[in-house]
A and B are shown apart, each in its own frame.
Chain A
Amino acid sequence: MLNYIWMGMLVIGFIVGGINGKLGEVTQAAFNSSKSAVELSIGLLGILCLWTGLMGVAEKSGLISKISKIVSPLISFLFPEVSSKSPAVGAIVMNLTANFLGLGNAATPLGLKAMDELQKINRKKDTASDSMVMFLVLNTTAIQLIPATIIALRAASGSGNPAEIIIPIWITSISATIVGVIAVKVLGYAKRG
């Protein structure tokens, strides 16, 4: 899909630029943007290293398993089909915790493991189970303790207080998660009739 969007933006840009007689500016923008993409990446580098470093310490300190213990009671409400003894529970909890800490590299393998375990207890192998739908939606609304990338981006863009956005982001993603969970439960119930 991105192939079409990318090409579309460029082609439409050149056509509209031609109509508006702005092809000079458009060309200039193309060169300037490629330069600022690299400058942006360099600007992001420091803060992102800082957070991945700190979160590495969190991982080694056993903070993932501590947080996992706190959230596990929620799991039986969100995933009623999954028995609490199933190995899926551990993978789901660890994946959500890794997402919460912003450990993207750790979260994806754990998520794939969770999907694998959920597939084992899935009755129709080509159709998503209720648990899978819930797991995916929780992953797309993932609440992050420190939204590091966006803080880095704000710092690189000259914000006076890049971290002021943390609490608004928490409130927003918690709201999105609640709506997502309700939608999964209600739509799942409606489809089963």
Chain B
Amino acid sequence: MGILALLRGLIIIFNNFSDYTVPLIFVVILTAGIMKRVKVYDVFVDSAKEGINTIVKIIPSLVGLMVAIGVFRASGALDLIICVTKPITSIFGIPSEALPLAFLRPISGSASLALVSDLMKNYGADSFIGRVVSTMMGSTETIFYTLTVYYGSVGIKNIRHTLVAALLAEATSVLVSVWVCAFFFGR
């Protein structure tokens, strides 16, 4: 009973803390800027332009990938995969709708973004599935891209245990995101 009450208390503190995180980060960064005599607004506007470049650059790949996912879902092929994998994923408590993301995430960032958007549209951003895929998406990087760029730049051919370790970390993030979301928000 005591432990359960403690956990409940922690959840309440954490949920309230969520409301404070964003304002707190704003205040800290802007205060640090003013103290260094940075022209905060000018720098803000200038840097915000980078955000536009990022988005414009991903539009073509997002169109291509979201069409592929849309076709795959509408045809019933996605339901087939979800149905087949359900017995395996249910052992770990992973919603099988989230499983395709676990495979896509290490391969392509924009494809996972398209898939997460598709899942949130179909199940809701504030559903259990929506929260799990958000957490999975936010907690790992595109492994294959990172390996290719960094090792490619210095001509490394034998990457030894890099891929195994990175995939172990990714598998951890898949499992933990399910547990953490169940703990914070309930199923």
Bound form: Cα–Cα A2–B106 in Å: 11
Q: Within 8 Å of chain A (Cβ to Cβ): is B51? A: yes
A57 touches B134 (CB 8 A): no
Residues 49-74 of B contacting A (Cβ, < 8 Å): 49-52, 54-55, 58-59, 62-74
B137 touches A150 (CB 8 A): yes
A160–B151 alpha-carbon span in the complex (Å)? 41
In the bound complex, do residue B51 and residue A51 qualify as a contact, i.e. CB atoms below 8 Å apart? Answer: yes
Q: Which of B35, B76, B124, B177 interacts with A17 by CB under 8 Å?
A: B76
**Closest CB-CB distance, A125 to chain B, in whole Å?**
7
Q: Is the CB of A153 within 8 A of B63?
A: no
Does B94 reach chain A (CB closer than 8 Å)?
Answer: no
Asked if A58 and B120 make an inter-chain contact with CB atoms under 8 angstroms apart, the answer reads: no
Q: Is the CB of B170 within 8 A of A41?
A: no
* B150 A61 Cβ-Cβ under 8 A: no
Q: Could you tell me if B32 and A58 are in contact, using CB atoms closer than 8 angstroms?
A: yes
A-B pairs under 8 A by CB, number: 349
Q: Place the interface of chain A in its size category.
A: 35 or more
> A13-B71, A125-B155, A168-B135 known; A180 and B45 CB under 8 Å?
no
Contact present for B50 and A56 (CB under 8 Å): yes
A96 touches B (CB below 8 Å)? no
Q: Is the beta-carbon distance between B135 and A57 smaller than 8 angstroms? A: no
Does A72 sit within 8 A of B, measured CB to CB?
Answer: no
B74 touches A26 (CB 8 A): yes
Interface of A, helix, strand, loop or mixed by DSSP: helix
Task: Tell whether A147 pairs with B107 under 8 Å between CB atoms, given A6-B65, A36-B66, A153-B116.
Answer: no
Contact across chains for A187 and B111 when beta carbons are under 8 A apart: no
Check if B82 is an interface residue, CB within 8 A of chain A.
Answer: no
Expressed in whole angstroms, the minimum distance between the Cβ of B184 and any Cβ of chain A is 6
Is B139's CB under 8 angstroms from A14's CB? no
Identify which of A2, A51, A57, A112 gathers the most chain B CB atoms within 10 Å of its CB: A57
The chain A residue with its CB closest to the CB of B170 is: A176
**Does the CB pair A180–B168 fall under 8 Å?**
yes
* List of A residues within 8 angstroms of B76 by Cβ: 16-17, 20, 22
Subset of 23 A-B contacts with CB under 8 Å: A1-B144, A10-B68, A10-B71, A12-B77, A17-B74, A29-B71, A32-B70, A33-B69, A36-B117, A44-B55, A48-B54, A52-B51, A55-B29, A56-B44, A119-B156, A153-B113, A154-B120, A154-B125, A165-B138, A168-B131, A168-B180, A172-B173, A184-B165
Q: Write the residues of chain A forming the contact surface with B, with a CB cutoff of 8 angstroms.
A: 1-2, 5-6, 9-10, 12-17, 20, 22, 25-26, 28-30, 32-34, 36-38, 40-41, 44-45, 48-63, 66, 104-105, 108, 111-112, 115-116, 118-119, 124-128, 132-133, 135-137, 139-142, 144-147, 149-150, 153-154, 156-169, 171-173, 175-177, 179-180, 183-184, 187-188, 191
In the A-B complex, the 6 residue pairs with the closest CB atoms:
A56-B47, A33-B70, A17-B75, A180-B169, A53-B48, A29-B74
B interface with A by C-beta (< 8 Å): 14-15, 17-19, 21-22, 25-26, 29-30, 32-33, 35-36, 38, 40, 43-52, 54-55, 58-59, 62-77, 80, 104, 106-108, 111, 113-114, 116-118, 120-121, 124-126, 130-131, 134-144, 146-147, 149-151, 153-162, 164-166, 168-170, 172-173, 176-177, 180-181, 184-185
Contacts A30-B71, A128-B159 aside, 13 further interface pairs with beta carbons under 8 A come to: A9-B69, A17-B77, A37-B65, A49-B52, A50-B51, A57-B38, A60-B43, A116-B153, A125-B155, A141-B140, A146-B22, A163-B22, A180-B168
